[in-house]
């Protein structure tokens, strides 16, 4: 599998390195030239047990590359992950400017079908916004013939055990617009508008030790939202 990881922060770096460790070819992209130079030299900006060895091994074996060239990374990849930061703005809400910029950059340079997966922590509705932005960029270029899918793949990595959490996960969450992106049997399949709720729910759910909770897909948005809140309240209580 050929992967582009946009963002080399905690989540992007761990995820990209571990995907390479599993045999995939990964391009990690960042706009910080100094950071990319240091990573290519084997200098890891964060400490996570086992991460430095994984990065050095996969860089030397040619499966892991660090670059500032988004176009090259997207061109050479089938999956494009967005793992940029979403720091709080002046009102305390997630600032999505880096996520939206990443989406614009993808739309400006993709030349064929891609699956764009969001790993950044984002509010409800962001997946739809990203799909809209990429569509607009393709339209500007006159490339409406290019197809793509958008998926939501939140992270469940804990500091200090992130490498083990990734390589030996107790759950994998993948939500997509199109079953072409997820395969025949996605583990969970919620309407895209709930992607932010689903991440919150899954993190609470993981602590409850419940076997499974199913929300019927024919319920309207407000009813599903109410049920999710009830589940969260019962889990936290």
pLDDT score of 123:
81
Looking at the structure, tell me whether residues 207 and 130 fall in a common domain.
Answer: no
- Lowest mean pLDDT segment, chosen from 75-79, 127-131, 161-165, 221-225: 221-225
| CA neighbours closer than 13 Å in the CB half-sphere of residue 120 | 31
From first CA to last CA, the distance across the chain in angstroms is 42
Q: Identify which has the larger pLDDT, 84 or 231.
A: 84
pLDDT at 233: 58
Do residues 120 and 204 share a domain? no
Please tell me whether residues 112 and 144 are part of one structural domain. yes
CATH number of 124's domain: 3.40.50.720
Checking 61-65 for CB contacts under 8 A at 24+ apart, the result is 63/20, 63/23, 63/24, 63/25, 63/26, 64/16, 64/17, 64/20, 64/26, 64/28, 65/26, 65/27, 65/28
pLDDT at 203: 52
Average pLDDT, integer, range 209-230: 54
Same-domain pairing of 222 and 105: no
Torsion angle of C-alpha atoms 191, 194, 196, 200, degrees rounded to 10: -110
Residues 60 and 102 in one domain: yes
Question: What's the pTM?
Answer: 0.76
> Residues 135-175: pLDDT tens digits?
999 999 999 999 999 988 877 788 888 898 888 877 665 65
Domain count, the chain: 2
Q: Cα 112–120–186 angle (5° rounding)?
A: 65
Q: Which residue has the higher pLDDT, 108 or 126?
A: 108
Do 195 and 106 fall into the same domain?
A: no
Is residue 91 located within the same domain as residue 207?
Answer: no
| Other CB atoms within 10 A of residue 22 CB | 12
- The pLDDT assigned to 229 comes to 63
Convert the pLDDT of each residue in 16-35 to its tens digit.
999 999 999 999 999 999 99
The domain boundary, picked from 189, 204, 220, lies at: 189
* Per-residue pLDDT at 111: 94
pLDDT band of residue 13 (cuts 50, 70, 90) is very high
Q: Which of 139-143, 167-171, 188-192, 222-226 has the highest mean pLDDT?
A: 139-143
106 plus 67 within the same structural domain = yes
User: What is the extent of the structural domain holding 211?
Assistant: 190-237
The answer to whether the beta carbons of residues 196 and 177 sit under 8 Å apart is no
pLDDT, mean over the chain: 81
Plot region of 160 (φ>0 → left; ψ -120 to 50 → alpha; else → beta):
left
Whether residues 128 and 99 fall in one domain? yes
């Amino acid at each position: 599998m050929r992967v582009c990881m946009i963002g080399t922060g905690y989540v992007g770096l761990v995820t990209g390195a571990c995907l390479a460790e599993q045999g995939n070819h990964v391009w990690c992209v960042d706009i910080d030239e100094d950071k990319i130079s240091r990573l290519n030299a084997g200098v890891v900006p964060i400490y996570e047990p086992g991460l430095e060895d994984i990065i050095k091994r996969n860089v030397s074996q040619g499966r892991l590359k660090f670059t500032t060239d988004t176009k090259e990374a997207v061109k050479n990849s089938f999956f494009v992950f967005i793992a940029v930061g979403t720091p709080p703005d002046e009102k305390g809400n997630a600032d999505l400017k880096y996520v939206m910029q990443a989406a614009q950059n993808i739309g400006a340079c993709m030349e064929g079908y891609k699956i764009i997966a969001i790993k950044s922590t984002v509010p409800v509705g962001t997946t739809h916004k990203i799909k809209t932005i990429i569509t607009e960029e393709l339209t500007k270029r006159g490339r409406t013939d290019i197809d793509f899918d958008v998926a939501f793949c939140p992270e469940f990595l804990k500091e200090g055990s992130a490498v083990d959490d990734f390589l030996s996960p107790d759950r994998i969450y993948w939500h997509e617009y199109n079953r072409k992106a997820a395969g025949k049997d996605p583990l969970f399949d919620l309407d895209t508008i709930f992607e932010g709720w689903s991440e919150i729910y899954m993190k609470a759910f993981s602590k409850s030790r419940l076997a499974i909770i199913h929300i019927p897909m024919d319920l309207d948005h407000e009813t599903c939202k109410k049920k999710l809140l009830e589940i969260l309240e019962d889990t936290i209580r």
